[in-house]
Amino acid sequence: MVPSEYYLVLSAAVFCIGLFGVLTRRNALVFLMSVELMLNAANINLVAFSVQNGNLTGQVFSLFTMALAAAEVAVGIGIILVLYRNFNDVDVTTATTMRW
Amino acid sequence: MAVAPYETLAFALFAVITVGSSLGVVLVRDVWHSALLLGIALLSVAVHYVMRQAAFVATMQVLVYVGGVLILITFAVMLTRDSSGEEAVA
């Protein structure tokens, strides 16, 4: 089996890419996809350490994370559709109604 | 333990696929292409789960993420139109 450190490096790379997307893109849909990338990086870590510890705790945690991610995407898509209906685009910088 | 060389080779191949498609998600201008690249990234992460002997988690990854989350994102891409015309990220 490939050592766990390789998976940690892979997970860190995917997490950094997702963080880069969150911080640099202004499209709300790309924002949401970058959050999904970060959650997948966390899942890679959980599964890798699950094999290293020899029990299924990490895999069960990753299943919980998947359910949470699905619910979060459902709520986020609803918010993005309402944003588009009110502002006619999905740029996150145009919604300045609540800015004081 | 000794690592079989083909296993390291397979890990390297799918790691390159994962990181490359993830970079494509955040760098490509078209949102639809970003969604397709996200699907490739999620499927390659499922392959990594199989390599870590987590077959059930890989199955749930394909069912929940590719079958649910990606379809929701596809609906959002089809229901919205990006009129901001943001420039490509360098």
The pLDDT profile of chain A, 100 residues, written as one tens digit per residue, is 889 999 999 999 999 999 999 999 999 999 999 999 999 999 999 999 998 898 999 999 999 999 999 999 999 999 999 999 999 889 988 888 888 7
Site from B63, B70, B84, B89 to mutate, A interface, most A CB atoms within 10 angstroms: B84
CA distance B83 to chain A (A): 6
Whether residue B44 contacts residue A7, with contact meaning beta carbons closer than 8 Å, is answered with no
Site from B48, B49, B60, B81 to mutate, A interface, most A CB atoms within 10 angstroms: B48
- pLDDT class for B87, splitting at 50, 70, 90? very low
- pLDDT class for B3, splitting at 50, 70, 90? confident
CB proximity list for A86: less than 8 A, separation 6 or greater? A95
- Residue A8 to residue A41: CA distance in whole angstroms: 9
Give per-residue pLDDT as tens, B17-63: 999 999 999 999 999 999 999 999 999 999 999 999 999 999 999 99
What region does A99 belong to: left with phi over 0, alpha with psi -120 to 50, or beta? beta
pLDDT confidence of residue B84: 56
Give the closest of B1, B26, B42 to A30, CB-based. B26
What region does A40 belong to: left with phi over 0, alpha with psi -120 to 50, or beta? alpha
HSE-CB for A94 with a 13 A CA cutoff? 18
A19 part of contact set with chain B, CB < 8 Å: no
At how many degrees (to 10) do helices A4-24 and B5-27 cross?
10
- Residue B58 to residue B46: CA distance in whole angstroms: 5
- Residue A2 to residue A6: CA distance in whole angstroms: 7
CA distance A70 to chain B (A): 6
